[in-house]
Each structure stands twice: as structure tokens, then as C-alpha cells.
Structure 1
Amino acid sequence: MRFRAAFRVCESRNRAQLLLQPQASRSFSQLPINSQRPSFGIAFDIDGVVLRGRVPIGGSPQALRRLYGDSGALKVPFLFLTNGGGVPETRRATELSELLGVHILPSQVVQGHSPFKTLLKRFENELIIATGKGEPAVVMSEYGFKKVLSLDEYASYFENIDPVSQYKLWTTKQESGNGSDPKKLVPKYNATSDRVKAAFVVSDPVDWGRDIQVLCDILRSGGLPGHKNTQQPPLYFAADDLEYQAAFPFERLGMGAFRIALESVFNRIHCNALEYVSFGKPNPFVFKNAEAILRQLQSSCNDNAIDNGDVGSNPFKTIYMIGDNPLVDIKGARQAGHPWFSILTRTGVFRGKDNHAEFPADLVVDTVEEAVDYILTEESTS
């Protein structure tokens, strides 16, 4: 039986679904600011909304600057809610700050693998494997997991585990500090005798063939390749996006596509079906977590505000989810229900003239700048 939870799609709220026409932008300083802390927050997707590759799109730098005061202090609580990842939130915040021209805090970056922190108590001192682009082992180590190996390094301790490695033109940098020759590697842990207690797909894998082979070895052997044990270690995916918008004009296959490939192969060679847990949008847990983080950010907004009760405890009237993927961003916001309001942009996965048929957004716009303009105008008159 799979570990995936079945989430009920909430009934659409009684809001008119809007198609926004382009209009003149207004700066934040032109909008009235009351003495209370903001009663709304914003969650931005990244790929296809504010960036394409490493290039800002849709007027995103200008849009984000309007969420800060003249002094540079945050006026509106917002965060980035992305299924992407592969690097620690601290590093991603620095990268976003440089690309978008505003100061982004690590707490404003919620990546697909951020919920892995909740599993620390269970696996803190157990041998775990992390795979994906970037630095998956570093990510897990920064979360506090003490015995982490990247799948790159783990595979290097098993001779011939990847039967086609000699045909690959690229090389993988090893993290042990002993060079790239597997025969000279000294395992950090007893990789060839200790069982792997869990496997984490932190971001989109680079070498699908190798990763599918090694993960199948780990999962169908009870965590120790080459041995027989049908008890599968837990497997976690940071997200389950089938496609996403990157720098290439057309959508790219995402972690969900890798999961489908792994599951298909595993189920053909193993007596039991693959068991796994997927995090990331549209999982309702992700949206509840984002709301909690926004409440914390709310307490730092508008230093001149009058506090009524505990700092950061004031409920949001509205949280705006700005995304480009109806099956991920819009579906997730709809499932989360009140106070989420979904805004769909045409700069990424979605390119339609009208709203999405299966998961219609509350509002459809061309760019993220138009979305922010709508929000600030709406909130100034509410």
C-alpha cells in the first residue's frame, strides 16, 4: 500500500474568476498604508513566474520592490513557494536577492525539500541517501541529518553497480576529498555493510539511469545492495511535478516524471509495489506551512503598526498564491481553501487565453507584475 495520502479537493470559493486586463501600475508608496500590520500575504512560485532559468521575467524585480518601504524594510509579508531546490535555503535566498535586486531572507524561501526537516527526529542518526541536482547531501546535512551520503558518493563504493559508467563522458566530483578514483575512496560510513534507512529525492536527478538502478538496488534489498530483504526502506520525493518551465521555450520533465520512471521499473522487477511519500505543491501541508511562515513574517512588517494581541498571531484575510502551473500552484491553493486566493500567470507552463478548465484560478493575468498591481490595488480599498 502506498504512503501517498488522498487529499479531498475543496469546493471552489464563491469568488468570481477574473481575467485581468493590463492596466497602469502604481507604486506601493501611492497606496494607502494603515496603522495595522498587513492582513494579507503573498506566495510566489519561482520558475515560470519570477524567473526563467536565471533571467527575471514578467517585471518581477519591479513588482517585488513595491513590497518594500523606502528604507528597504518589508512592508508586505511574502515568500517564495517552489517545488524546486537542490541547494540550502540560505544559498537560494542569496541567489534570488542578486537576481531580483531585493533582500530575500532564508525564511522567505520554501523549497520542495524544506518539509524534510520534519523527518529529522526519525532519521537524524540513521544512514540516509540523498539524490538530485545541486548538493542534496549538503541540504540534508544543514537540516541536521548526521549520516548523509549523496547517491553519487554511495554508488562509488560499490564496484560495477552502474554497468555503463565507463561509457559516460562526464565525471562526478566526490565529496570524500580523496579524488575521483573509486578505489581510493574511504567511506565516511560503513556504506557497504550498514543498511540505508531512507532515501530522499531532493531535486531532479541528473543521471536518471544510474539513479534508477541504484535506488532499485537499495529499495528491493532492504537498504543493502546485493542482499535479499523485501522490506523496502522509506522513499521520499521533494515534489511530484510532471513538468516545469525552465529556460528552454517548452516545458521540461520534472521530478514527477522521474518518479513515474522509477516506479514503473521497480514494480516490474519487485514483488511489491513501490511505496513512497511526495511533498511539495499541491500537498495541503505545504500551504499550511507557508501560512505559518507568513504569519511570522507578518510580525516584522510595518514597524509603526499597532499590535493587537500577540505578534504575528493576526489571521490573514487573504493569502495570494501566484503561480504558472494549474495542476500544482492553482490546485494546491484551491485545496487549501480559505484564506488562499489563486492567481495564474501566462509566463510559464500556462499559456492559455482563458482560465484553466480543470483547475481554474480566481484570477488570470499576463505577468507577475500585473498580479502584484492587482493585489496592492485590491488591498488598498478593502
Structure 2
Amino acid sequence: MKILQILRRKLSSSQIRSTATPSLSLAFFYRQLHSSSNPASFGVAFDIDGVLLRGSNPIGGSPRALKRFYDDSGTLKVPYVFLTNGGGVPESKRAKELGSLLDVNILPLQVIQGHSPFKQLMRRFENELIVAVGKGEPAEVMSEYGFKNVLSIDEYASCFDNIDPLAQYKKWTDKLDGNQSSKSKHTALSNDPCSQRVAAVFVVSDSVDWSRDIQVLCDILRTGGLPGKEIAHQPPLFFANDDLAYQVFQC
């Protein structure tokens, strides 16, 4: 019953704020819950890795088990969500991936990732320059939440000479720089982040290059969001998941 109450509140507030696609998806999900002749009074929150999937492979009969949450007509009988501390990709993309792997129709609002709560900060930083850190597509994640002035830390760091003191020892970055899209480079340069104050930093997922990212973050935080300037008030730093312990797969 608790999850149904949460969905009702989210539906009501979403309809008041906006008529955008997420609200329509939520309305569709809500209608499905109540179109069943015998709707459930409970919901289920699934972890993903190690519960339903191992990497990209379904575990046991997980696809078949999820289908039992639907009636013969395909209407959802039992509400469920995926709750994971992972992330790095937009919920819309993750929902498509999960739906393909588990052979069920999954809506983005059913996917709750480690960075999903960042949506609540959109109005506070909507038009401010923010830097998104992490593997995957951190800038795309924040843009999908509604943030309008987002740079990934790769784009931001590329606009400063010698901001990474260990860059000369990282041979793999030469290949990455060569593969970076011209669109990303143009975006980073046209926004001229050197002259804009970074209002906040969001660690969306695990960093790929902690030595560089820690240096860049220290420069941003110590100078009030303007690396190279004098020490100033620190902008906020938000972590989606500060977990540095990683699962090891046995050979």
C-alpha cells in the first residue's frame, strides 16, 4: 500500500508542475495499476545485479518471474521498481536495456538509480553551470533531468591547460581524446567554462580517472567554482554513490 500512496502523490504533483512525457508515463503506469480487476495492495523493489541479472545475463527464471506480475492481457497486477546504487546512463536508456534483457515492458519511472534523487535539485541549479562526473553518460543523465548547462568532467577539464599534472603519464587518454566527438568539444569551448562559475558538482557514477578528477574537483571547490582564481566559498558537491568497494568476478 505504501508504494501505491507514493505513486499517487507523484502523479498529483507531476500533473500540477508539468505535462511533459515523464508525467504521461506516470499516468499510464498509475492507470495500469488500477485497471486490474484485483489490484495488489503491495509493491516490490528489486535490486538488479546479482538478483535479476548477472552482467547482461538473466539469473535463473527472472524473466518468467516478472511476467507473473502481469495478467493475461498484459496489465500490471503488482507494481514493481528496480532500485540500484549503480547508474551512469539515463533512466530511459536503462529501462530499454532492462526491458530487452528481461523481456518485459519497463518504464523509465520504474528505474531508480543512485543518481535519480538529483532530479529534486533541478530547479535549484536549472540554468547554472554544473559539472557531472563519472563513467557512462553523466552529462546526458543530468540533461535528461532538466539541467540546462551541463558539462561532463572530461569536457570541463579539456578547457584548461595542465589541469591534470599526471596527464603525460596516461597514454590511454591520447586515444580517448582522439575519439571525442567534435560536438562535445564544440559544446565545451562555446560555453567558455573558464569564465563561468561552476555552481555545483555532481558525482553521477564511478570516476574513470580518479587522479585527474580529484585534482579538478579540488580546483573547482577551493576557488568557488573558478579554477585558477583566488580561494573562495566552496560550491556544493553531491555524491550519488560514494562506494569504492567493487565486486570481483572469479575466473
TM-score bracket for the superposition, by shorter chain length: 0.7 to 0.9
Give, in whole Å, the separation in 2 of the partners of 1:225 and 1:41. Answer: 47
Which segments of structure 1 move beyond 4 Å, counting only runs of 4 or more? none
Alignment of 1:205-244 (within 5 A): 205-244=207-246
Q: Aligned-pair distance for 1:145?
A: 0.5
Q: Aligned pairs, how many? A: 212
Structure 1 residues 251-287: Cα deviation after superposition (integer angstroms, max 9, x where no partner): xxxxxxxxxxxxxxxxxxxxxxxxxxxxxxxxxxxxx
Q: Aligned-pair distance for 1:60?
A: 1.7
Give, in whole Å, the separation in 1 of the partners of 2:117 and 2:228. Answer: 31
Equivalent residues of 1:176, 1:188 under 8 A apart: no
Q: Give, as a single letter, the amino acid of the residue that structure 1 aligns with 2:117.
A: P
Using the aligned pairs only, state the percent identity: 67
Gaps of 5+ in 2: 1-35
Q: For the structure 1 residues 146 and 186, does the alpha-carbon distance in structure 2 shift closer, same or farther, using more than 3 Å as the test?
A: closer
Give the corresponding residue for 1:82.
84
Equivalent residues of 2:155, 2:188 under 8 A apart: no
Provide the TM-score with structure 1 as the length reference.
0.52
Q: For the structure 1 residues 44 and 105, does the alpha-carbon distance in structure 2 shift closer, same or farther, using more than 3 Å as the test?
A: same
Q: For the structure 1 residues 176 and 242, does the alpha-carbon distance in structure 2 shift closer, same or farther, using more than 3 Å as the test?
A: same
Q: Which has the higher contact order (CA 8 A, sep 6+)?
A: 1
Give, in whole Å, the separation in 1 of the partners of 2:119 and 2:127. Answer: 14
Q: Aligned-pair distance for 1:119?
A: 0.5
Give the corresponding residue for 1:169.
171
Equivalent residues of 1:48, 1:245 under 8 A apart: no
Give, in whole Å, the separation in 2 of the partners of 1:69 and 1:244. Answer: 38
Give the corresponding residue for 1:54.
56
Give, in whole Å, the separation in 1 of the partners of 2:166 and 2:191. Answer: 26
Q: Aligned-pair distance for 1:133?
A: 0.8
Q: Aligned-pair distance for 1:101?
A: 1.3
1:139 is paired with a residue of what secondary structure? helix
Give the corresponding residue for 2:16.
none
Structure 1 residues 80-115: Cα deviation after superposition (integer angstroms, max 9, x where no partner): 011111111110000001111111111110111111
Q: Give, as a single letter, the amino acid of the residue that structure 2 aligns with 1:177.
A: K
* Structure ranking higher in helix proportion: 2
Give the corresponding residue for 2:152.
150
Give the corresponding residue for 2:4.
none
Gaps of 5+ in 1: 1-33, 251-382
Q: For the structure 1 residues 176 and 71, does the alpha-carbon distance in structure 2 shift closer, same or farther, using more than 3 Å as the test?
A: same
Q: For the structure 1 residues 186 and 239, does the alpha-carbon distance in structure 2 shift closer, same or farther, using more than 3 Å as the test?
A: closer
Q: Which one of the candidate residues 194, 197, 213 is aligned to 1:195?
A: 197
Give the corresponding residue for 1:324.
none
Q: Aligned-pair distance for 1:46?
A: 1.0
Equivalent residues of 2:70, 2:77 under 8 A apart: yes
Give, in whole Å, the separation in 1 of the partners of 2:197 and 2:182. Answer: 20
CA RMSD, aligned part only? 2.2
1:197 is paired with a residue of what secondary structure? strand
Give, in whole Å, the separation in 2 of the partners of 1:178 and 1:51. Answer: 33
Give, in whole Å, the separation in 2 of the partners of 1:228 and 1:140. Answer: 28
